[in-house]
């Protein structure tokens, strides 16, 4: 068995990396998935600094993708960047049995790991969360990243629950998007050093690194991946002044990506840059004219457009 950040995980050695991008799902005008564009985008992200991509997560419009579309995305992205970057499949959901089935399909597709979001709408107890994640994790040999985003799911995966889950052999990381540095501090305090903490918010990346975090699952890296990598590397090398300077430069982009519901702004940004990622599927709608003007102004100021 090999070591993952000092942990043994079913004969599989993997370091997810520090900068990963939560990839959008390109759609055609008829809102069908554009798999060719998805492959090109994945390649571009890796070429501009991303060490891995998360496929069919929140930014990838997971709630409105079918299981078949998700599995095909996993396959084509593995074919395109597998071996060059880590490919993490979003296989979480609010139905444990369905999440197990999708996780097993993702494993067959050759992904490097899976990300499991907190079950939304059901509002399970902490014990329910623990049993859900443990059951899904035990159905696969892949490394598992938890995903805590209570603003979307209406349930917060508390640090004590994460600590219990860290005892499951292949649960090795969490994407933390509660917005609470106190929660991050408590997680780092009680979890093994080998358990990786990732920021789920671009603007919280540097603070999370300062608290012992591993890196970020980014939206903004679609646009400023190289600079984000420079910021993370500067911090890792001890150049806090440079890391802070880059954070401040990037901050307007971070905020612009959330002028409305993610992934609406990043899709609008990519379309402005000449990518053909299309509009989001309903119930999301494309950015309004005012929102586009705000985004365009920030991107122009940053030299992106």
Residues involved in catalysis: 147, 175
> Which of 165, 158, 207 is CA-nearest to residue 183?
158
Give how far Cα 283 sits from Cα of 196, 204, 208, 280, 286, Å. 33, 28, 32, 8, 10
Where do we find the tokens 């509009």? 279
Question: 278 in the Ramachandran plot: left (φ > 0), alpha (ψ -120 to 50) or beta?
Answer: left
- 87 close to 77: Cβ distance less than 8 angstroms: yes
- β-bridge pairing 144-148 and 171-176: parallel
At residue 213, the 3 state secondary structure works out as: coil
Q: Tell me the C-alpha distance between 275 and 279, whole Å.
A: 12
Query: Which stretch of DSSP H or E encloses residue 215?
Result: strand 215-218
> Which of 190, 239, 241, 228 is CA-nearest to residue 211?
190
Q: Tell me the C-alpha distance between 223 and 221, whole Å.
A: 5
């Amino acid at each position: 068995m090999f070591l993952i950040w000092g942990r043994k995980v079913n004969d599989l050695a993997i370091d997810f990396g520090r900068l990963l991008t939560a990839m959008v799902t390109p759609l055609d005008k008829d809102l069908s998935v554009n798999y060719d564009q998805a492959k090109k985008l994945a390649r571009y992200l890796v070429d501009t600094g991303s060490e891995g991509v998360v496929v069919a997560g929140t930014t990838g419009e997971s709630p409105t993708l079918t299981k078949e579309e998700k599995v095909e995305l996993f396959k084509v992205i593995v074919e395109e960047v597998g071996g060059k970057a880590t490919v993490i499949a979003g296989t979480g959901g609010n139905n444990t049995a369905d999440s197990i089935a999708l996780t097993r399909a993702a494993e067959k597709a050759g992904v490097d790991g899976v990300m499991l979001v907190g079950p939304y709408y059901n509002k399970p107890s902490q014990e329910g969360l623990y049993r859900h994640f443990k059951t899904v994790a035990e159905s696969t040999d892949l490394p598992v990243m938890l995903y805590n985003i209570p603003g979307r799911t209406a349930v917060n995966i508390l640090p004590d629950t994460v600590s219990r889950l860290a005892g499951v052999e292949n649960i090795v990381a969490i994407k933390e998007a509660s917005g609470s540095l106190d929660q991050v501090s408590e997680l780092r305090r009680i979890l093994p050093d080998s358990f990786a903490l990732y920021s789920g918010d671009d603007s919280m990346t540097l603070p999370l690194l300062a608290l012992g975090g591993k890196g970020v699952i980014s939206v903004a890296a679609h646009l400023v991946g190289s600079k984000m990598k420079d910021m993370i590397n500067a911090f890792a090398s001890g150049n806090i002044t440079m890391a802070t300077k880059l954070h401040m430069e990037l901050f307007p982009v971070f905020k612009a990506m959330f002028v409305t519901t993610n992934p609406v702004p990043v899709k609008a940004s990519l379309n402005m840059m000449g990518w053909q990622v299309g509009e989001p599927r309903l119930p999301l709608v494309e950015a309004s004219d005012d929102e586009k003007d705000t985004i365009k102004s920030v991107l122009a100021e940053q030299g992106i457009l």
